[in-house]
Amino acid sequence: MIDLAITSRVTRFGDPRSLITKAARHALAAEGFTAGNLSVAIVGARRMATIHQRFLNIAGPTDVITFDLDTDVDRNWIEGEVIVCADVAARQAGGQGASTRAVHRELALYVVHGILHLAGYDDHDPDDYARMHAREDELLRGCGIGAVFHRQARNQAGK
């Protein structure tokens, strides 16, 4: 069994925990994880910027940061923390006019992204990037949320 803990102190975008739980549970099962602990923290831009600077020495907020605390893919064991930023999600989902649902979907994408990193996926070269983001959309479609990443990429390309 996987202990999944989702915490959020960000309330201005509603409560995304139900959708995030759905996406996380689906991704964990699809990637073969059967036991362990996964913590998901939803934070605001200021807190994310602090974490980003402290642990990666990069200024400013980012969408997701993943900490592998002792994941063992061969044993189907996950042990990690995924931190996602609600403010970045809102901006990416359409800015101030973004719907609550769009922000929640974006946060679900970030959580799936973090789980895939824990599963061994990487996105640093073009082939791995394409493979990882295609898998994200596949997982999000598989749990009924629908593609989020590739829809954005197409929308941004058309601007």
d(CA 137, CA 53): 29
pTM above 0.75, yes or no: yes
What's the domain range around 28?
2-157
d(CA 56, CA 91): 22
d(CA 89, CA 14): 13
Count CB-CB contacts under 10 A for residue 82: 24
Owner of token pair 């990069």: 58
Q: Give residue 92's pLDDT.
A: 92
Q: Give residue 9's pLDDT.
A: 85
Q: Give residue 150's pLDDT.
A: 59
d(CA 37, CA 46): 26
Beta strands in the chain (DSSP E): 2-8, 35-43, 64-68, 77-85
The CATH number given to whatever domain includes residue 57 is 3.40.390.30
Domain count, the chain: 1
Amino acid of residue 107? L
Point out the residues of the chain with pLDDT beneath 70.
Answer: 95-97, 150-159
Q: Give residue 95's pLDDT.
A: 65
Choose among 159, 154, 104: nearest CA to 133: 154
Q: Give residue 38's pLDDT.
A: 98
